[in-house]
Structure formats: structure tokens, C-alpha cells
Structure 1
Amino acid sequence: MSFNGQAILPAIRSMKDFEKMLSMKYEYGVFLDLHIGQVKSVLDLAQQNGKKMFVHLDLINGLAGDEHGVEFIARYAKPYGIISTKGSALVKARQKGLVATQRAFILDSNAVNRSVRLAQKAEPDFIEVLPGVAPKIIQLIRHETGKPVFAGGLIETKEEVEAALSAGASAVTTSDVALWKEFAGN
């Protein structure tokens, strides 16, 4: 299973990587580590190139990662969607017509339970599970929430991507350009 035909969601950490992503056939991607002053220009450039981008709300420097930050980013920059660990931001994103992705750090069974409760309350469109190298957790979160799952974090090889997808991940988020290239034709 893949996200709209994409096994990989390129995670952009630099403008150099963004340029690489623009030259590839990927339609969807994720911006990490942006400065608030860059958000509108990079999203405009992405849209001009037919790219639909998520922004990681919690990692935008100079912007609060709360519901007010969502309102601002939705009106000002119009991303395809947001990624956040905060339930209020996810709810507001959906209200504003953005695709909402809950980022869940799964460290132990308590984290699983908290993530499931947050998903039930916030009703995100997707859940990004970190680390993504745990197929058992991908299956568990998908089963418990009924939501499509992205796998991210610590995935470094083609085999790990394939294992995450086989476990039911809809896509793998990665900043590893070599993996982008490996899966660009898929």
C-alpha cells in the first residue's frame, strides 16, 4: 500500500534537498525545520511545481505550534497539510481544510495508549509513527486507530522501507535522498 502511489514522502531539511525533490516525480513531501519567513515562498514554489506539501508545524521556527499557528499558516501559506504532535493543532487543521497528520513517538506501551487516545480525540487523517523501523507498532497503531500510518525515523535501507510498507504503512517519511532516488520510479 502506498500514499497516492508514493512509497516515500521526501522529508525536506534544506533548500538543497527541496531542489532535489522538485526535480523528481514525487507529488507529495514534507517540510521540516523551516523558518517562518520561508514558509510562504517555499510553499508557493512547491505549488508552482505541482507539489503538495505538508509542513511540520512544531518545527517552524518563529511560529507557535498551536491552533493559532495553524490558523495563520492555513491563511498565509496554504500548505496541503500539517504534521503535529498537538491535538488542538490537528483539530484546527481539519477545520481549516488541511490534511492533519499526528506525529506519534512510540517509546513504550504508555506512548501507544496516549497516541491512540489522541487519535480518537483529534481524528487526524494520518498518523506518522516514529521510529518507523518497528513493523509491529505500525500494525498496532493502524489497527487501534483505523487511520492510515506513515512510518518515519531511523529508516535507512530499502529493506526497512519495504518492511514498513509490508506492515501496512501507507508511506515512509525520510530525509535520506538516496532512498528518494531508490523509490522515485515507484
Structure 2
Amino acid sequence: MQKLFPTSRNMKNFERFLESSYENGIFLDTHVSQLRHIQQMAKLHMKKMFFHMDLIHGLKNDEFATEFVCQEIQPEGIISTKGAVIMKAKQKGILSIQRIFLIDSQALEKSLKIIEKTQPDFIEVMPGAMPWIIKEIKRQVEIPIIAGGFIRTEDEVNAAMEAGASAISTSNVQLWKQFEHTSYN
């Protein structure tokens, strides 16, 4: 598995991803009308895309929209905070990333219960610039962790990896470039 996932928030960053040596990328915040075009461009460049289901404008982030995306767009994977979305993607044979936002201990408890139920392929911990929480989650689950959010420097990347993250997701193009030809790719 690649260690850094370039995350695109717009077409300009997506085009930068397409020109990179990274194989897998994440697309956040898009419109349903752009999905097919993004997927076609990715395939043309031998790239595999993960789409954030909660941030596709024009689609409700539920299991029906997930079924549509899985069947019609056929991404490598999906990301969601919703358990039903994760379970539908798994049912359709699409990789799933359960995104969890950790704002307090109650959010952590609730997230761990959802993860136990959904058994996603990956967990994306937000914010990822908290190595101590990555260690705690790593102790409690055997699912690979992706650290995302507020990771801005090489030291923060290294701290997340040392804490047990299997990968980093970032929209910081400078970090993409910095780690493109290292063991983090």
C-alpha cells in the first residue's frame, strides 16, 4: 500500500495528482456530474480513485447513492463517516475507508463502536496530527489507519507513521512532492 494518498479538493490539484507517480488518490468535494469524468481521467493515467461519498454534491450520502457510485463509477474505494455507506461499499466489493473525527473521548467511543460494526478496510483518523490517539486506536483495532487532517510538515508525517498509521492523506501538494520519490509513496 502506498504511504501517502494525495487528496484533491479541486480539478487543478487532481491534474497535479494525475501527473505524479502516485497510484492511488482521493477526491473530496465534487459534484455528481464530474464523477464519471474524474474516473475516466484517472483510468487514462493508470490511477485508482477513492471518492468521499459525504462530499459529492447532488447525491445523498446514503447506501443508495453508494450503490450507484459503486456500480456506475466503479472507483477503487469510497470514504465516508456513515456506517451504512461503508457496509454497502463492502457489499459491492469496493474498498472502504471509515473516516472518524475525534473531537473528544465520546467521539472516540462512538467511532470505535461503528468501526466494530462496519469493519472497514481502512480507518481515516481526523485530525491525523495527534500521534497519541493513533497509538490508542492502533491498540484497539487491527484495521490499517490513515492519518489525515492538519498534517503539514515532514515531522508530522513521520510522527503519524511512527505512531502506527499505515498511510497519510493530505491535500498539501508540497508534501506530495516531498514524499513522491521516497518510501512513503
- With structure 2 as the length reference, what TM-score do the two structures score? 0.96
**Deviation digits for residues 122-177 of structure 1, max 9, x if unmatched?**
11000000000111111111221211000000111111011111111111110000
**Equivalent residue for 1:123, pick from 119, 123, 131:** 119
Does residue 92 (structure 1) correspond to residue 91 (structure 2)? The answer is no
Structure 1 residue runs without a partner (length 5+): none
TM-aligned CA deviation for residue 7 of structure 1: 2.3
Query: Equivalent of 2:102, from 106, 109, 118?
Result: 106
Once the two structures are superposed, the pairs formed by residues 33-72 of structure 1 within 5 Å of their partners are: 33-72=29-68
Percent identity, please. Answer: 47
* Greater than 2 Å deviation, 4+ residue runs: none
How many angstroms does 1:79 deviate by?
0.5
Q: CA-atom RMSD, angstroms?
A: 0.7
Q: Which of 24, 27, 31 in structure 2 is aligned with 1:31?
A: 27
Structure 2 residue identity aligned to 1:100: S
Which residue number corresponds to residue 13 of structure 2? 17
2:120 match: secondary structure = coil
**Residues 94-136 of structure 1, C-alpha deviations (whole Å, 9 max, x = no match):** 0001001000001111111111100000110000000001111
Question: What is the TM-score with the length of structure 1 in the denominator?
Answer: 0.96
Structure 2: distance between partners of 1:121 and 1:145 = 12
Secondary structure at 1:26 match in 2: coil
Aligned partner of 1:183 in structure 2 is 179
Q: Deviations over 1:59-117 (max 9, x none)?
A: 00001111001100011111100000000000000000100100000111111111110
Task: Give the counterpart of 2:165 among 153, 161, 169.
Answer: 169
Conserved? CA contact 1:103–1:128, under 8 Å: yes
Q: 2:158, 2:16 → 1: CA distance?
A: 23
Structure 2 unmatched ranges of 5 or more: none
